[in-house]
Amino acid sequence: MAPHVETFTPEGSPALIGPYSHIAKVGDNITIGGLGGVDPQTGTVPSDDVYAQTVQLLRNFEALLKTVGSDLDHIVHIQVFLADMDDFDRMNEAYISVIETHRPARTVIAAKELPKPTFKVLMNLTAVTADG
């Protein structure tokens, strides 16, 4: 029997900008698709600063992971897409301020364009459930 794939977007998540779900889950494995630093309450990017966008984005990940029985300490891999590689150090500062001591595998790529012109950073991740 093939594994069952659940896909969904929890209530209170940032609005989708395309035909996809924020979360895909198979057993204890979780994938969260690309997110920018959008405030889910206002639907806007709160700042044009990569630090603020990174913090918002990681807080969004934290909230999404909680809905599927996980947290930031159970991230396996994060992909980071930066609109400008000059923002790498500021993104790292914000990343460390939220993720603290857990160091999942990570890939950082400079992207020519991101889905919204206000995005300085976009990330996606894979994780596992906390009790898996």
Domain ranges, ordered by start, for the chain: 6-128
- Cα 10 to the chain's mean position, in Å? 14
* Polymer length in residues for the chain: 132
- Whether pLDDT at 131 is above 70: yes
The model's pLDDT over 10-46, given as tens digits with 9 standing for 90+, comes to: 999 998 888 999 999 999 999 999 999 999 999 999 8
The model's pLDDT over 77-125, given as tens digits with 9 standing for 90+, comes to: 999 999 999 999 999 999 999 999 999 999 999 999 999 999 999 999 9
- Whether pLDDT at 8 is above 90: yes
Fold of 6-128: 60s Ribosomal Protein L30; Chain: A; (3.30.1330)
State pTM to two decimals.
0.95
- Whether pLDDT at 132 is above 90: no
The answer to whether 63 touches 123, Cβ cutoff 8 Å, is no
pLDDT at site 102:
94
Residue 127 CA to residue 67 CA, distance in Å, equals 13
The answer to whether 90 touches 28, Cβ cutoff 8 Å, is no
The model's pLDDT over 53-84, given as tens digits with 9 standing for 90+, comes to: 999 999 999 999 999 999 999 999 999 999 99
